[in-house]
């Protein structure tokens, strides 16, 4: 029996562990000190499943303010899309004062970890309704928005161009679901030269009259805690998102977690949360809610690394090393992916089948000499010891 050959059995028993180590070795950004994960193994398994499915099954759903844009730069807060409107070209000093008073009143409520989303919801509606009423009173001109954005200190996160360009290159749709101002959001992306055809935006858009003066905001108010309704009512109608059951979700608020609710029959959803402010107070709730939490990280390094892995074709060969505890052989394992059928010859081999339901390897046979035909996507582990003995595990 196979179990009576310890120098072979131990490497085979280790195969599953090696399988789960693949993503860890290939995405070193996940080992950064700013990265927190509650269930690392589940994150790695989800990423691996998304990579196997490929870019054609992937969509990215993201918040905008303080998610795709920076929270702070050089110890100074970066403006949100609403803050960008705080420009004398658009609003007067009295309006600025009133908007800041509203911010000081309601923002602490928005990030208060002790309050439930249900408790916050009516207060968020109250906040942004008042802000929009103030902006409408200012009779903002549409033709001044581009200049206001250009004069602002708005900044996308470091690595943003790689993020947007990579998604466009692989034809992965990016849905931005924002509680900010859609007209300003679009201008920020446009001025950074990353407004590609794969980008779709759901946000609060201004309604201008025939002279180009703001007279209202279109549709239902979108705020931090009703993005689920926005996703269900708008995202379902976007044909580009259909047939893409794997989702990479990016947000900076617990309310952003509902943005994927509009996805039809989701299979794998990986959530990444940017924890920008009040870290100690909110860390526990973020870790319990997001798959990956990025603490005070002003870059797109982790999302970019995940996307590179998911959209890449697996290498033909990946090498790993471990020690066989049964006989202390230094064993080298090679992970091979064949694009067509091959016949592999070996002196010893173990044929195994990976049972995803049981999350285990099922040994099929053990032979001293022979050959085996392997098909596409078969995992081959070639185990070389310090003796002349050699084993091949096929799973």
Read off the pLDDT of residues 340-365 as tens digits, 9 standing for 90 and up: 444 444 444 444 555 555 545 455 54
Say whether pLDDT at 332 is over 80: no
Strands (E), 276-326: 292-295, 317-324
Separation between Cα atoms, residue 299 and residue 34, nearest integer Å = 11
Domain with CATH 3.40.50.1000 in the chain: 53-306
Predicted local distance difference test score (pLDDT) of residue 309 = 96
384 or 374, which is more confident: 374
Read off the pLDDT of residues 120-169 as tens digits, 9 standing for 90 and up: 999 999 999 999 999 999 999 999 999 999 999 999 999 999 999 999 99
Please report where in the chains the tokens 């006989």 appear, as a residue. Answer: 327
Q: 14 near 329, Cβ under 8 Å?
A: no
- pLDDT > 70 in the chain, percent: 71
Q: Give the closest residue to 178 by CA, choosing from 139, 221, 208, 217.
A: 221
Read off the pLDDT of residues 200-228 as tens digits, 9 standing for 90 and up: 999 999 999 999 999 999 988 999 888 87
What rounded mean pLDDT belongs to the chain?
80
Options 63, 183, 291, 301, the catalytic residue: 63
Say whether pLDDT at 241 is over 80: yes
pTM: 0.74
**63 assigned to active site:** yes
Q: 259 near 247, Cβ under 8 Å?
A: no
Contacts of 17 (CB under 8 A, 6+ apart): none
Q: Give the closest residue to 62 by CA, choosing from 242, 198, 187, 184.
A: 198
Contacts of 11 (CB under 8 A, 6+ apart): 322, 324, 331, 333, 381, 383, 391, 393
**65 assigned to active site:** yes
Q: Which long-range contacts (CB under 8 A, 24 or more apart) does 190-193 make?
A: 191/146, 191/149, 191/150, 192/156, 192/160, 192/161, 193/161
CATH superfamily of domain region 53-306 = HAD superfamily/HAD-like (3.40.50.1000)
Q: Give the closest residue to 164 by CA, choosing from 189, 182, 201, 146.
A: 189
Mean pLDDT computed over 43-72: 96
Read off the pLDDT of residues 14-46 as tens digits, 9 standing for 90 and up: 444 444 444 444 799 999 999 999 999 999 999
Separation between Cα atoms, residue 168 and residue 300, nearest integer Å = 16
Read off the pLDDT of residues 270-329 as tens digits, 9 standing for 90 and up: 999 999 999 999 999 999 999 999 999 999 999 999 999 999 865 433 333 333 333 333
Q: Give the closest residue to 327 by CA, choosing from 2, 3, 11, 1.
A: 11
Separation between Cα atoms, residue 263 and residue 286, nearest integer Å = 22
Predicted local distance difference test score (pLDDT) of residue 109 = 93
């Amino acid at each position: 029996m196979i179990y009576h050959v310890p120098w072979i059995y131990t490497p085979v028993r280790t195969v599953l562990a090696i399988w789960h180590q693949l993503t860890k070795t290939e995405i070193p950004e996940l080992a950064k000190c700013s990265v927190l994960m509650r269930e690392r193994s589940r994150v790695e398994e989800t990423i691996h499943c998304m990579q196997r499915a490929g870019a054609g099954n992937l969509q990215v759903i993201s918040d905008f303010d303080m998610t795709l844009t920076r929270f702070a730069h050089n110890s100074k807060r970066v403006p949100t899309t609403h803050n960008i409107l705080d420009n004398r070209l658009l609003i007067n000093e009295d309006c600025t004062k009133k908007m800041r008073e509203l911010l000081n009143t309601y923002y602490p409520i928005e990030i208060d970890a002790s309050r439930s989303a249900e408790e916050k919801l009516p207060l968020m509606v109250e906040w942004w309704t008042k802000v929009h009423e103030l902006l409408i009173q200012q009779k903002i001109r549409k033709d001044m928005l581009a200049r206001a954005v250009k004069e602002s200190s708005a900044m996308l996160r470091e690595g943003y161009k790689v993020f947007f360009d990579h998604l466009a290159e692989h034809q992965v749709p990016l849905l931005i679901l924002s509680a900010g101002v859609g007209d300003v959001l679009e201008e920020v992306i446009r001025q950074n030269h990353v407004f590609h055809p794969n980008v779709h935006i759901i946000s609060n858009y201004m309604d201008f009259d025939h002279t180009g003066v703001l007279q209202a905001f279109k549709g239902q108010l979108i705020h931090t805690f009703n993005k689920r309704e926005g996703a269900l009512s708008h995202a379902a109608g976007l044909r580009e998102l259909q047939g893409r059951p794997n989702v990479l979700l990016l947000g900076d608020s617990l309310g952003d977690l509902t943005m994927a609710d509009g996805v039809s029959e989701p299979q794998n959803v990986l959530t990444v949360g940017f924890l920008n402010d009040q870290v100690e107070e909110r860390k526990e709730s973020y870790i319990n809610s997001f798959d990956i939490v990025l603490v005070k990280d002003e870059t797109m390094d982790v999302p970019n690394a995940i996307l590179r892995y998911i959209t890449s074709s697996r290498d033909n060969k990946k090498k790993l090393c471990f020690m066989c505890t049964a006989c202390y052989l230094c064993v080298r394992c090679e992970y091979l992916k064949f694009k067509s059928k091959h016949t592999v010859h070996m002196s010893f081999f173990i044929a195994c089948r990976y049972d995803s339901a049981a999350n285990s390897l099922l040994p099929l046979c053990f032979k001293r000499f022979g050959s085996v035909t392997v098909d596409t996507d078969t995992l081959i582990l070639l185990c070389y010891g310090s003796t002349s003995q050699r084993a091949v595990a096929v799973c």
